[in-house]
Structure 1
Amino acid sequence: MAKKSCENAVIEEAIATKDSGAATGGVVQLHVSGDAAWPNRGSGRSYASFCGMFVLVGALRKSILSASIFDKMCFTCEHAEKQKRQAPKHDCWRGARGIFCEDNPDWRGSSKAMEAEGAVMCVKGIGAYTFCEPCDFSKARVSKFASDEDPPT
């Protein structure tokens, strides 16, 4: 459901952007904003959260275009590693995944790196999105990215 919602939001944002005149050669130049969040509050010096998320929002329609989720821990994997054995087959949540993003189960970055990696994953995912047949444009790319003053992004 989230993927379908984001798909509709990307199409609506691309159409609104094209109507505003920001398209060249069949490629729509999107303007977006993005930020990350963690369940544990960061002090600016220390980020110790085991999970986090990044959300990319369109500038014109103010809809969520893409999102990525990061988990640094999986209790099944951690338990198997402590016992020095291979983890049984399970639905592992460790790594990075998202909507329009390429999953990366091997991601083991720091909590602070989640924001920068999420921005890259979401922007690349939007750039790889190909539109449906009825549209008179085939691709979109992010040409302007706005964020807060966080150093990671």
Structure 2
Amino acid sequence: MTPARRSAALRAWLIAGTLDIAYAMAWTTLAGGTVGGMLRGIARGPFGDGAGGWGVGGALAGLGVHFAIMAAMVAAWFAAARRWPALGAAPWGWTGALYGFFLYLVMNAVVLPLRFGASFPPADPVQGLIALVPHILLVGWPIAWFAHNKETR
């Protein structure tokens, strides 16, 4: 990977990761939850239910897990774009939206049901949109935009 591509991937990781977790923090707070509890919930994914009682350490672990997942999402996109150059040639808005939708499906139809027994599709369509829209706008679009930048191709 060229230095420009590495820089673009790093920026995509930081921007998409920050936008996504900021959205989760805001949504959690508006729903009456706590940011620490939400982050410990993320940590429960790989570290088990005990991570929910880790206090600040669990919240920091959850933040680390979030950014590790985001790194995998960015790496997958950049690898796919290298393998299939048409991804970089297509309009970034469309490819980013499709990638965000794909990530939503992976997370909500595979990961969450396997780990937490969550149902898919959600019984409440509004809850589905609340999960889908940020995957597209805050994750898929920034990743595709940074990858599509002419200086990084």
TM-score, length of structure 2 as denominator length = 0.29
TM-score, length of structure 1 as denominator length = 0.29
Which structure: larger Rg? 1
More helix by share: 2
